[in-house]
């Protein structure tokens, strides 16, 4: 069937053989519409090329079927995997995600969340527990289900799903000390804005102090994490302190640069010197040398956050405010 004018909801309803109201509710995933009618309406929408008007839908209902997802970066696969988990968690629920990236900028995060709330979302997924006071006030006043992901170190506004970064850093240090490491260096990026990396460093240093040790040296780049920065800073720290037996990095991206630096200098990795990252990215398992890392449950966190909002939509939440701590796994050479 070819319709020459702009496709409307009435066109979809006519093709599906249902009322306009039924078509609208079917496309929103309303629970009181039969599976048969939902299938007919979705098929009619595909046949006619109907795309709808989500903004109009948002303002015409107390809640839309949209969920806002706010992440700090897409520079590596970490948050891509989180978003994949979210998509899997809300599959079949009628909820649709809208993603925004803050670049670790609190002002940008505030404006992005304010914009997302104007769509009357069914829920919000935001990264971390360290939003600015202004952003926390905005979220608290919104009456929208909020899930804070990737962190459990702090006070949650609603649900918090993730793990303790402080404990992740401490566990890594304890494991390396148990392997006989004593002279530690640290290489990191962007600690002023990546507060979770900063908490891992604090946990790492706490474990060293408990063992009567301390960082021998530290190198830091104020910009965002990069492999290039890891390579450059590793060369600097090992040139100044060639007797280090372990270097801990803010994440696997930076640690990858450390591997490249050592390979270029002919420094053996894994025996006299261990490099340790964070996140357990797949690329760490393809390197010609093994590094230590903390494997984080990124996809599981996204999935759990998505399911939380599905339950909120269905009115099935038993605990609207709680923390879910998912396990991390140490991987050592």
- C-alpha dist (Å) from residue 131 to 101, 127, 135, 170, 176: 14, 9, 6, 24, 32
Residue range 98-124: average pLDDT? 91
Q: Which residue has the tokens 């990215």?
A: 281
The sign of the dihedral angle between the CA atoms of 301, 325, 155, 73 is negative
Taking alpha carbons only, the member of 55, 75, 172, 166 closest to residue 120 is 55
SS3 298: helix
Q: Is pLDDT larger for residue 229 or for residue 2?
A: 229
What is the pLDDT, as a whole number, of residue 296? 97
Residue range 116-126: average pLDDT? 90
Q: Is pLDDT larger for residue 40 or for residue 57?
A: 40
Q: Which helix (H) or strand (E) holds 275?
A: strand 274-276
Taking alpha carbons only, the member of 150, 172, 149 closest to residue 159 is 149
Q: Which residues have CB under 8 Å from 222's CB, separation 6+?
A: 189, 190, 191, 192
Q: Is the pLDDT assigned to residue 232 strictly greater than 70?
A: yes
Q: Is the pLDDT assigned to residue 133 strictly greater than 50?
A: yes
The proportion of the chain whose per-residue pLDDT surpasses 90, expressed as a percent, equals 66
Query: Measured between alpha carbons, how far is 329 from 299 in angstroms, rounded to an integer?
Result: 14
Q: Give the pTM.
A: 0.81
Taking alpha carbons only, the member of 213, 196, 265, 204 closest to residue 234 is 265
Largest CA distance in the chain: 78
Asked if 103 and 110 touch (Cβ cutoff 8 Å), the reply is no
What is the pLDDT, as a whole number, of residue 29? 66
Q: What's the mean pLDDT when you consider all of the chain?
A: 90
Query: Measured between alpha carbons, how far is 4 from 101 in angstroms, rounded to an integer?
Result: 38
What is the pLDDT, as a whole number, of residue 2? 39
Long-range contacts of 53-56 (CB under 8 A, 24+ apart): 54/96, 54/119, 55/119
Query: Measured between alpha carbons, how far is 40 from 287 in angstroms, rounded to an integer?
Result: 51
Q: Tokens at residue 70, please? A: 């706010």
């Amino acid at each position: 069937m070819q319709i020459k004018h702009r496709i409307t909801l009435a066109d979809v309803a006519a093709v599906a053989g249902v009322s306009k109201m039924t078509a609208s509710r079917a496309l929103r995933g309303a629970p009181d519409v039969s599976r048969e009618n939902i299938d007919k309406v979705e098929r009619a929408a595909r046949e006619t090329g109907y795309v709808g008007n989500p903004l109009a839908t948002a303002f015409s209902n107390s809640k839309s079927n949209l969920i806002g997802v706010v992440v700090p970066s897409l520079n590596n696969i970490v948050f891509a995997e989180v978003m994949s988990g979210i998509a899997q968690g809300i599959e079949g629920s009628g909820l649709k995600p809208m993603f925004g990236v803050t670049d670790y900028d609190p002002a940008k995060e505030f404006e992005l969340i304010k914009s997302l709330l104007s769509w009357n979302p069914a829920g919000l997924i935001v990264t971390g527990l360290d939003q600015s006071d202004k952003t926390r006030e905005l979220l608290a006043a919104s009456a929208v289900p909020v899930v804070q992901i990737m962190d459990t170190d702090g006070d949650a506004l609603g649900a918090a799903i993730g793990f303790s970064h402080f404990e992740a850093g401490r566990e890594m240090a304890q494991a390396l000390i148990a392997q006989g490491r004593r002279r530690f260096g640290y290489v990191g990026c962007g600690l002023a804005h990546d507060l979770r990396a900063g908490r891992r460093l604090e946990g790492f240093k706490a474990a060293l102090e408990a063992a009567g040790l301390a960082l021998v040296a530290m190198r830091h780049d104020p910009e965002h994490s990069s492999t290039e920065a890891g390579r450059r800073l590793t060369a600097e720290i090992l040139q100044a302190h060639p007797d280090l037996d372990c270097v801990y990095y803010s994440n696997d991206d930076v640690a990858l640069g450390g591997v490249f630096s050592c390979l270029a200098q002919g420094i053996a990795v894994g025996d006299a010197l261990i490099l340790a990252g964070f996140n357990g990215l797949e690329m760490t398992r393809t390197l010609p040398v093994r590094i230590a890392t903390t494997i984080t449950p990124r996809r599981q966190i996204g999935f759990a956050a998505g399911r939380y909002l599905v339950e909120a939509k269905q009115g099935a939440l038993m605990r609207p405010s709680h923390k879910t701590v998912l396990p991390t796994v140490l991987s050592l050479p």
